[in-house]
Structure 1
Amino acid sequence: MSTTDRRTVETETRVDFVWPAKDFSRVPYEVFSDEKIFELELDRIFRGPVWNYLGLECEIPNWGDYQTTWVGNIQVVVTRAKDGSIHAFENSCAHRGARIVDNVRGNTKRHTCPYHLWTYNLTGELTGVPFEKGHNGKGGMPPCFEKGDHNLKALRVATHGGLVFGTYDNAVEPLEQFLGEHSLSQIERLLGKRKPKVIGYLRQKIPANWKLYNENVRDPYHASLLHMFHITFGIQTPAMAGGIKMDGDAKNSWNHSILSEDDHLKRSALSDDYDELGKWQKDLKMHDPSMLEVPLDLNDNYKTTILSMFPTLIIGQVDNTYAIRQLRPKGPNAVELHITYLGFEDDTPEQLHNRMLSVNLIGPGGYISLEDGEALRRVQEGVVSRRGEHSVLAMGGIGELRDTDHLIQEISIRGFWKHYHKLMKFPEAGQQQNDKRGAQ
């Protein structure tokens, strides 16, 4: 979108609410269902100063390899050129706008629009226009026509740690700076020492706003409450060592839990907290416990790592499951969750088998993910009629955004909203609240 187009959107679109709290501990419900807000997000966030996750380098290892993905509501083709460089461009012909690529992935020497056969090379440059000069001196393009003026609309591409990102904004900060210290260190920890390979994909359409999923993965508070499996089998409990860390502007967060020798004692101390909740079933057993007996292969005792990067990327390690989750908004009331499961090139057959076992933890039917989609559906249905009201994000304290050494918090969610508010250019957040706010 041109600068002029963006000015038009910003001038014509008004948002008629005030963000309730300067510390972002209150979130107006309108942001989850308002059509105008969603349209603004497409322009100010997805086509704005962010790096959008596009895929993995290992998914397009050879020249001519390509795959399609989404940036907001725009389908994008990511391809590797003959010189090894990676390019990304919109899947829409410069001629009449037709979709060019139908397959999710494949290999080709060129991309040709099926409508009028305009042809593009692997970098998105227009290389062929049938009857450009007409036939027998008749027809054809006018003398002013230049193919170079009609290339596919390209994104700027950068890579780090085998991850591919794209942006529409030429002024956005460098990728490494955008990711921040903790994202860089965890990408190196999870993917940097071994060559990843894809072992499977899953897609799930959730009838909820894409930002609700962002709240969910930044919310360790819910993990041992919504997910009975978490607390019952010790995947992640409030008693574990760990916490959350955020980057400089709080938009990216890393929440993690760490195994300790005395975890069983710490978990026993939680009995009183769970007596009335019904989420800790001490006598529940797995008929086949092999999935829970897979050894952690990094030998650093991190039980869970959830790395959430603005706006739509989550890299997770839960036990020995490595999964990349990408959010693909489908309007204000739905999001597609695209999950890429990873193994590594040097995995033994036993390690690959164990990873496939662990995949049962994460996904639409997973032991600790099944409830997430249902919870978000309930939230979406609950807030859609509550215009003028707001949610409460006070767990862990209000006021200053800060890292914690515990998991009972909602602070990292507020970091997401702080950056979202900035990019959306909403009026300055205020203190308009009717409820009494407690001290930190």
Structure 2
Amino acid sequence: MNTQAHGAQPVWPAADFSRVPYEVFTDPRIYRLEMERLFRGPVWNYLAMECEIPQWGDYVTNWVGDTQVIVSRSRDGSIHAVENSCAHRGARLADKVRGNARRHVCPYHLWTYSLSGDLASVPFEKGHKGKGGMPPCFDKKDHGLRKLRIATHGGLVFGTYSDDTEPLPAYLGPHSLTQIDRLLMQRTPKVIGYLRQKIAGNWKLYNENVRDPYHASLLHLFQVSFGIQTPAMKGGIKLDKDGKNTWNHSILSDDDAQGLRDLDRDYADSGKLMPDLQMHDPAMLEVPLDLQDGYKTTLLSMFPSLVVAQVDNTYAIRHLRPKGPDAVELHITYLGFEGDTDEDLHNRLLQVNLIGPAGYISMEDGEALRLVQLGLKTRHGEHSVLEMGGTGELHDTDYLSQEISIRGFWTHYHQLMGFEPAATEKV
């Protein structure tokens, strides 16, 4: 079936979103629509961790889609987010990643704003010696910075442009709320490091990747060989009411060793299953799970651009920053907790080597997404196939080899983008 886009309107050939037109990953017109209809639409965008701005005047900069914002804490403890662009001539206000400032001052003409984004002063607003100045109709109330509405949960700060965005708890859904509470609210989190990785692939490819436990045991040799997550483990995926937010998890059990041995047939001739492989220094694999609840991995993917992840004792916030149709910056915030001992911190930093562009597990993800982006660029009018785990209605699973949760992402994406209804005929 031809899925050629008409203008910026791609043709979706399956109503259950088991087919995705390749144009959504390459068309600049679709990318521009995403910035408007998704990131500026009725969604909650991740902005920061509260622990990154503990004091009055502390701020960090971040990205909502391709728009940079400043997230800061006011004197009264409230948190604000404003676009990092002066209302006068558009100049960038904050040029540092983070810092402390009691007000936002444009470096060009010194227009000054409160941390909440209200215009406080304009040099020579009344002119000088009766000459010049702004016209009588000028009102500072009409020239503040563009603001986002703020909500928080579990130390995570979210912002939205839309008055129609549902309350944050309803948006996140019960599985996200439960896992954020489990990961971030039993202890007080603190930042122990940052990492940025630019990936030569569309931002939605990474959304597919983290919702795709099917690839986890096939692409990542290290993960399977050392039993971090395998198809034989207990676990699965759970979706929110819209399918947009996914909890992908694996759980330790007494059957894992035997389950790994029983995978021989599934991995026949692949060269991926190497259960006898050993590390010269296995220290990072011998760190006991500090939550002691058996969860080996948790990937909590929240639409449109946030992943809260736990792999063993590595806790991280992964945030996607689109950089055009064919690139995305993955920003990772690594977390420890107040009260961690020196040994705890050492173990967390040791296991950071599992995740990242040179990590034992995820170094392959960036390369895989690059290869996908390269491969689909010339396949105009064609589509991907998402049938692992079955087609039809979305549902939770108690198994890991599936692509159902990816279809959940596309279901919500399609709705917010306002595309024409997907086809109902069999592909």
Measure how far apart 1:14 and its partner are.
Answer: 4.1
Partner of 1:164: 157
Can you list the C-alpha shifts for 1:143-201, whole angstroms capped at 9, x where unaligned? 11111111100000110110000000011100010000100000000001100000000
Report Cα offsets for 1:379-417 as digits up to 9, x if no partner. Answer: 000011111100000000000100000001000000000
Instruction: Give a deviation string over 1:35-75, Cα, whole Å, max 9, x none.
Output: 11001000000000000000100000001000000001100
Say whether residues 1:53 and 2:46 are aligned partners: yes
Contact conserved, 1:65 with 1:105, CA < 8 A, in 2? yes
The answer to whether residue 123 in structure 2 is matched with residue 130 in structure 1 is: yes
Which of the residues 319, 343, 353 maps onto 1:360? Answer: 353
Correspondence for 1:91:
84
- Judge conservation of contact 1:133–1:140 (CA < 8 Å) in 2: yes
Q: Return the TM-score normalized by structure 2.
A: 0.98
User: How many residues get paired?
Assistant: 422
**3-state DSSP of counterpart to 1:202:** strand
| Preserved CA contact (<8 Å) 1:203 1:338 | yes
Residues 1:387 and 2:391 aligned together: no
Secondary structure class of the residue paired with 1:236: coil
Q: Which residue of 1 aligns with 2:171?
A: 178
Aligned with 2:360: secondary structure?
coil
1:378 to 371, 382, 391: 371
**Paired residues for 1:261-276 under 5 Å:** 261-276=254-269
Paired with 1:234 and 1:370, the residues of 2 have a C-alpha distance of 17
Residue identity matched to 1:69: N
The corresponding residue for 1:402 is: 395
Query: Map of 1:82-161 to 2, 5 A cutoff?
Result: 82-161=75-154
Post-superposition Cα deviations, 1:303-337, rounded to whole Å, max 9, x if no partner, equal: 00000000000000001100110000000000000
Q: TM-score, normalised by structure 1?
A: 0.95
Q: CA deviation at 1:285?
A: 1.2
- Give, in angstroms, the shift of residue 283 of structure 1: 3.1
Aligned-residue offset at 1:30: 0.4
Structure-2 separation of matches of 1:91 and 1:401: 39
- What residue number does 2:311 align with? 318
Q: Distance in 2 between matches of 1:35 and 1:168?
A: 22
Kept in 2, the 8 Å contact 1:312–1:328? The answer is yes
- Does residue 206 (structure 1) correspond to residue 199 (structure 2)? The answer is yes
1:109 and 1:324 map into 2 onto residues whose CA distance is: 27
3-state SS of 1:187 partner: helix
CA deviation after TM superposition for structure 1 residue 114, in Å:
0.4
Aligned residue for 2:16? 23
Task: Return structure 1 stretches of 4+ with deviation > 3 angstroms.
Answer: 431-434
The structural deviation recorded for 1:271 is 1.3
Between the aligned partners of 1:337 and 1:181, the Cα distance in structure 2 is 26
Alpha-carbon distance, 1:18 to partner: 1.7
The offset of 1:17, in angstroms, is 3.2
Instruction: Work out whether 1:33 is the aligned partner of 2:23.
Output: no
Aligned twin of 1:43: 36
Q: Which runs of 5+ in 1 are unaligned?
A: 1-12, 435-440
1:285 aligns with 2:278: yes
Mapping for residues 401-420 of structure 1, pairs under 5 Å = 401-420=394-413
What is the percent sequence identity of the aligned residues? Answer: 71
Partner of 2:215, secondary structure, is helix
Q: C-alpha distance in 1, partners of 2:162/2:275? A: 52
Question: CA separation in 2, counterparts of 1:400 and 1:262?
Answer: 31
Residue type of the partner of 1:18? V
How many angstroms does 1:287 deviate by?
1.1
Does the 8 A contact of 2:151 with 2:159 survive in 1?
A: yes
Residue 301 of structure 1: how far off its partner (Å) = 0.5
What letter is aligned with 1:178?
Y
Match of 2:216 among 220, 223, 226: 223
The equivalent residue for 1:4 is: none
Residue 97 of structure 1 and its aligned partner are, at CA, apart by 0.5
Determine if the alignment matches structure 1 residue 344 to structure 2 residue 356: no
CA drift of 1:275 comes to 2.4
Instruction: Confirm or deny: 8 A CA contact 1:15 1:426 kept in the other structure.
Output: no
Where structure 2 has 5 or more consecutive residues not aligned to the other structure, the ranges are 1-5
Counterparts of 2:46 and 2:68 in 1: how far apart (Å)? 13
Asked if 1:302 corresponds to 2:295, the answer is: yes
